[in-house]
């Protein structure tokens, strides 16, 4: 029975540590637009239902696309460089203009021009996961990070210091 309990506790601690490391890396890799990049994919949380077609709180895993792969009529994610709040937007491409061999400009449904270098991906290249998005949304919040990540690690540190103190006291 004790061996089975140790295995279960080890699995729970392992899952917890993976969650802590991933969340910390996710938060440290965020750019000015709130987008993290891992393994060549963009990770975006649809926090305020600002990205239509996707559920609020879901995690979007966006595979980058080349400007040549974006067609008129596709819905695309792009950095809104004209906005002060620095968010990403999601809109339909209404016009595509190739400026030169290195530059393509898109016109979105709201008539905003977007350079090809600011396009993240399209709806076709995006995977939505609600479960991990909701977990990550809670853990990355101020109070969630404090109580789920910082506080348990602080308690573990105090316990380790106490265990070392007890060992020295025995000797």
Q: Is residue 85 part of a domain?
A: yes
Whole-angstrom distance, CA of residue 32 vs CA of residue 12? 34
Q: What is the pLDDT of residues 123-146, one digit of tens each?
A: 999 999 988 888 888 888 889 889
Would 169 be classed as within a structural domain?
A: no
In the chain, how many domains are there?
1
Residue entry with tokens 């600002």: 50
The answer to whether the beta carbons of residues 24 and 149 sit under 8 Å apart is yes
The reply to whether 152 falls in a domain is yes
SS3 42: strand
Residue 169 in this model has a pLDDT that exceeds 90: no
Q: What is the pLDDT of residue 1?
A: 66
How far apart CA 157 and CA 160 sit, in angstroms, is 5
- Say if residues 103 and 114 touch (Cβ distance below 8 Å): no
Domain presence at residue 96: yes
Establish if 171 belongs to a structural domain: no
Quick one: which H or E segment has residue 111? none
Domain that holds residue 23: 2-164
Residue 170 maps to a domain? no
Mean pLDDT of the chain: 88
CB 7 within 8 A of CB 13: no
57 neighbors 42 (Cβ within 8 angstroms) = no
The reported pTM is 0.79
User: For 69-105, how does the pLDDT look when each residue is reduced to its tens digit (9 = 90+)?
Assistant: 888 999 999 988 887 778 888 889 999 988 888 889 8
């Amino acid at each position: 029975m004790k061996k089975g309990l140790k295995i279960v506790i080890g699995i729970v601690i392992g899952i917890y540590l993976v969650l802590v490391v991933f969340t910390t890396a996710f938060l440290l890799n965020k750019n000015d637009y709130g987008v993290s990049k891992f393994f060549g994919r963009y990770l975006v949380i649809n926090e305020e239902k600002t990205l239509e077609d996707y559920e609020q709180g879901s995690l979007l895993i966006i595979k980058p696309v080349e400007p040549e792969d974006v067609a008129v009529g596709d819905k695309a994610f792009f950095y809104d460089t004209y906005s002060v709040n620095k968010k990403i937007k999601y809109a339909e491409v209404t016009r595509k203009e190739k400026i030169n061999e290195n530059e393509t400009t898109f016109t979105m449904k709201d008539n905003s021009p977007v350079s090809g270098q600011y396009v993240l991906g399209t709806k076709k290249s995006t995977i939505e996961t609600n479960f991990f998005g909701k977990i990550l949304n809670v853990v990355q919040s101020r109070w969630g990070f404090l109580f789920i990540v910082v506080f348990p690690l602080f308690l573990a540190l105090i316990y380790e210091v106490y265990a070392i103190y007890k060992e020295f006291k025995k000797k």
